[in-house]
Chain A
């Protein structure tokens, strides 16, 4: 699935790196997992691409893909934005999850889709994140969530805010059942998502250069009329301040996840619970 996150870039053979402006040959960019060969900028990628990069071949079965957003507040313009988001993202909502096998370890994997209204968390995203975490708890499987979000979805108002509490409670429940929870923060992971399930990983990994922060630096500079030093609110900044465990380049992500999962949640540990099955591609 292609990721139309930079609308200024024309489709075709060449794509400009938004960070270093280098002109990149698309085929090579794709071979490079959509990481700029010049400056290592990690492009935002779609959910299908992400899943293909992380799971054992064909080992992902999506669950609850039919959940659709409602308009709990009758918020103006919301339904139009949902239609546009669906067209842009090619999916029903901003998050997908399902059963996966990563390096031989049966895992519940969830991936946010930033192209759908900025990956914002409304009822559907909150519900699917919660279901993913509950599935891990119920089946004794590790849960890996790949985050990309601008935060809570304004159009669902207070109902969105409550998804923070709901997902945080599901994280606590997963941990109480003794299971492993790994978070991968990708560009960007912010606000209500960072301040709930994304910060609660037993292990928090981020992609290089990803924007990671409670409020984006631009918001802070605008609201407080101050100038921030360069390099704040990034994966590296969060690593330096002890908020995440690892910054892992995309090329190494699958290997790192595979090791962590097999060291900390080997499949044999869950063998007596619910025999993990080799799942079909969706």
Chain B
């Protein structure tokens, strides 16, 4: 479905081996000779090296993985995970935002509301999807449909994949801040289970706007951050303010799935196939689907009041500070 044709800088050694294999195969075919032994050897090398590279990615490498142009997007996963999906449009106030898709889907015979940021694959679609940067209409569409989900007692599944919310003047005029705030407030009390997964870029307010839920997961090579690393490097004197030290900011900001799990921000890291989700979208979708299925089964068992109390407590507990009046230091580790 998606060809892993674009190589990231740290994949260079793998690219070299793959090119060698291709050259050998072509040579063998052209000259009718057997090179299978050498090719098999290269394939073993490739596998070993892959394991080594992809289990040691830096926060900056992961940022590039999360933004990989071939990385599966929300609609790719929707096709692979749900038995049916009817996309629904519009916020009934101003317009329809293609940067957030929403609709009714079927998961293992159960109806679910699916919402998610949507990026574009080619130049035209990227513009149409506004690079996954949602406008106020996107959050308001999500809110409208989440209210429906609450009324019909159907769970919500949210895919997070955005560089940031749209900040241009037209978004400001229509209240991007209010839209994000109101969406979080609604989700915090929505009387139906909400399952959230960060599948690519969990970018700032644009991400958290639809990421308040009962269970938060991240794909292994996705990132979740208060600001893009380059942006952080551009505004903090700590990183020289020239924007060139994004790799340092990425590391300092603790944006990887493992970091977020360690800090208690998320509940679970979903592993990706070797080489990343874009090398095997179908397998990634199976892993996501398994997670949603298992998590929803657990959440369905909870009375709604318990579900809501747990959700409030979950976000209430996030934060680390020193409270001298408390019996002991409050710290989440």
Does B bind A? yes
Please state if A242 and B319 are interface contacts (CB–CB under 8 Å).
Answer: no
Tell me if B275 is interfacial: C-beta within 8 Å of chain A: no
Interface size class, chain B = 35 or more
CB contacts (< 8 Å) of B199 on chain A: these are none
- Does chain A have a CB within 8 A of B49? no
> B146 to chain A: closest CB distance in Å?
13
Known: A127-B321, A168-B185. A70 touches B331 (CB 8 A): yes
A residues within 8 A CB of B177?
A: 194-195, 198-199, 213-214, 243
A73 in contact with B252 (CB, 8 Å) = yes
Stretch touching chain A among B37-45, B107-115, B204-212: B204-212
CA distance A156 to B322 in the complex (A): 14
Interface segment out of the listed B81-89, B223-231, B289-297: B223-231
Complex: A158 Cα to B315 Cα, angstroms: 12
Assess whether B205 is in contact with A161, with CB atoms less than 8 Å apart: yes
In this assembly, does A191 line the interface, its C-beta being within 8 Å of a C-beta of chain B?
yes
Q: B184 in the interface, Cβ–Cβ < 8 Å?
A: yes
Chain B residues closer than 8 Å to A166, beta-carbon distance: 315-316, 318-319
Task: Flag B147-188 by CB within 8 Å of A: 1 or 0 each.
Answer: 000000000000000000101110111111110111011101
Q: How many Å lie between the Cα of A26 and that of B205 in the bound state?
A: 40
Quick one: given A157-B226, A162-B208, are A169 and B316 in contact (CB under 8 Å)?
Answer: yes
Q: How far is the CB of B83 from chain A (nearest CB, A)?
A: 31
A138 to chain B, nearest CB (A): 13
| Overall SS of chain A's interface | helix
| A72-84 Cβ-contact flags toward B at 8 Å (1 or 0) | 1101110000000
Q: Does B122 lie at the interface of the complex (its beta carbon under 8 Å from any beta carbon of A)?
A: no
A51 to B331, CA, bound (A): 31
Among A61-69, A99-107, A265-273, which stretch is in contact with chain B?
A: A61-69
Say if the beta carbon of B46 comes within 8 Å of chain A.
no
| Mask: chain B, 193-219; 1 = CB below 8 Å from A; 0 = not | 000000000001101110110000000
B238 nearest CB neighbor, chain A only: A77
- The listed residue (A69, A200, A214, A243) touching B185 by CB distance below 8 A is A200
**Bound Cα distance A67, B324 (Å):** 7
Q: Is the CB of B260 within 8 A of A214?
A: no
Q: CB distance B226 to A160 under 8 Å?
A: yes
Select B172's contact among A75, A224, A233, beta carbons within 8 Å: A233
| Binary per-residue interface labels of chain A (160-203) against chain B in the complex, 1 for a CB within 8 Å, 0 otherwise | 11111110111111001000000000000001101111111000
In the bound complex, CA of A224 to CA of B254 (Å): 27
- Given A67-B322, A68-B324, answer yes or no on A169-B238 (Cβ-Cβ < 8 Å): no
Q: Given A169-B188, A224-B168, A228-B169, A164 and B208 touching (CB < 8 A)? A: yes
Asked whether, in the complex, the Cβ of B325 is within 8 Å of the Cβ of A169, the reply is no
Q: How far is the CA of A262 from the CA of B254 in the complex (A)?
A: 47
Is B189 in contact with A163, judged by CB distance below 8 angstroms? no
Q: CB-CB < 8 A to A162: which residues of B?
A: 208, 265, 315, 318-319
Q: Closest residue to A213 on the B side, CB-wise?
A: B172
Q: What B residues does A199 contact at CB under 8 A? A: 175, 177-178, 180-182
Write the chain A residue with the least CB distance to B175: A243
| A243 in contact with B178 given A123-B320, A172-B188, A173-B312 (CB within 8 Å) | yes
Cβ contact within 8 Å between B167 and A165: no
Q: Flag whether B255 is at the interface (Cβ < 8 A).
A: yes
Nearest CB in chain A: distance from B167 CB, A: 4
Assess the B235–A154 pair: CB atoms within 8 A. Answer: yes
A70, B322: Cβ atoms closer than 8 Å = yes
Which 4 pairs between the two chains have the least Cβ-Cβ distance? A169-B188, A123-B319, A215-B167, A168-B184
Residues of B participating in the A interface, judged by any CB pair closer than 8 Å: 165, 167-169, 171-178, 180-182, 184-186, 188-189, 204-205, 207-209, 211-212, 224-227, 232, 235-238, 252-255, 259-260, 263, 265, 311-312, 315-316, 318-325, 331-332
